[in-house]
Amino acid sequence: MSKMNPYEMFLKQVDEAAPFLNVEQEFIDILKEPKEVLEISIPLRLDDGSVKVVKGWRSHHNNALGPYKGGVRYHANVCKEEVMALSAWMSIKCATAMLPYGGGKGGIRIAPRELSTGELERMSRGFALGISRFMGTDIDIPAPDVYTTPQVMSWFLDTYEKVKGWSEPSCYTGKPLEIGGSLGRGDATARGGMYVLREALKDMGLFGKPLKATIQGYGNAGSFAHALYEEIGVTVVGASDSKGGTYNPKGLNYADLMKHKKTSGTVADYPGGDKVTTDEILQAPVDILIPAALEGVVNEGNAAKVKAKIVLELANGPTTPEADAILHEMGALVIPDVLANSGGVTVSCFEWIQGRTGDFWSEKTVHEKLDERLTQAFTEIWKIKKEHNIRMRQATYVRAMGRIISAMRFRGIWP
């Protein structure tokens, strides 16, 4: 298994794309470092009266294309290097989707399920207070990520506005509709992945044919993918979460599986399928594998056992560089996270625009704009892939890094 931390993965991905860019090394060097990283300690008053000190981070990677944009995650394994890597991937992702943003990311090292609702609110407000001087509509616009929700964004927004003393609905995205959220945000990550997958299937001559998929990670993105991808002829036959998986070669019923997940808290032990491990989900004999959880699940230790011909990365960084190379040699197409899951940040951008203008769009408009933007991105990246005969991830980085570096060149290196 790869021993790289997530930031080392990003650096290797940059190096693999750099030879196909005719740019000065100084710009590559700048892209390899975050501009600034804030580390904060949050004293959290627990319900029993004791205080627990919680660590949090917010990383600003690059803002040549516009203000920093990226989510905030709550997870027991969050660390500074992970947050830095995620902010760097956001720079690439925003450039990939042609958004007027740079990359940012935040995280708190905590197991949120161990907190009461009151503790979760106090911690969230503590983090929002800590980063309040570090963000804003034209500076850095946070959003939800792993184990953060529209409710958490509501606490963030309310804290920020009380600190600043004015209303600013566009300073956070992923909010409830009642306080400036956007229609179409809930399934945006999975829906964007569907549009990208559809275009890939067309170019591969597979669109319209019966295809099978497994989903590793049955959270927000993974569960929405199950519901949506049936629209383009993909049958989900396996799914897993942190507690285990379920598999049925004839297909899993979305409504029944979601009901079981909500009742039991897991897809494991679902009566409509056989109980399997996450490894078995990754190695199942299917056409499409959809990693939709955390980093590094497809690595040099298991990549050779992956049987899917398409890996659609709805998670951030689920495939290590070593695994990427192995899958390529095996003839599999890896559709990288910075393209495949960019629907979330794209609709966050739409929410930001709506919040700034006060003009809110219909769900149909949001879907149409998302489809148009990601179809264009895929088409341009696919062309680069063919021209240079390189992997899809390399092509995506070539295009995104080219856009960022072009903006940096116009701006100049100062100070």
Q: Please write the tens of the pLDDT for every residue from 96-150.
A: 999 999 999 999 999 999 999 999 999 999 999 999 999 999 999 999 998 999 9
What pLDDT sits at residue 3? 64
Place of tokens 């930001």: 352
Give the residue from 269, 256, 287, 267 showing the smallest Cα distance to 216: 267
Half-sphere exposure of 105 (CA within 13 A, CB side): 27
Evaluate whether 34-179 and 188-340 have a shared fold: yes
Half-sphere exposure of 201 (CA within 13 A, CB side): 21
Q: Is the pLDDT of residue 404 over 60?
A: yes
Domain boundaries of the chain, sorted by first residue: 34-179, 188-340
Contact 231, 238 (CB under 8 A): no
Q: Is the pLDDT of residue 413 over 80?
A: yes
Q: Is the pTM of this model over 0.85?
A: yes
H or E segment and range at residue 320: none
Q: Which CATH superfamily is domain 34-179 in?
A: Leucine Dehydrogenase, chain A, domain 1 (3.40.50.10860)
Residues 6+ apart with CB under 8 A from 264: none
Active-site residues, by number, are 105
Q: Is the pLDDT of residue 300 over 60?
A: yes
Q: What share of the chain is helix, strand, coil (3-state, %, to 5)?
A: 50, 20, 35
Enter the tokens of residue 105: 């990311």
What pLDDT sits at residue 310? 98
Helices (H) and strands (E) in the chain, counts: 14, 12
User: What dihedral do alpha carbons 224, 228, 230, 236 form, nearest 10°?
Assistant: -20
- What's the topology of domain 188-340? Rossmann fold (3.40.50)
- Angle, helices 188-203 vs 363-388, to 10°: value is 40
- Distance between first and last Cα of the chain: 41
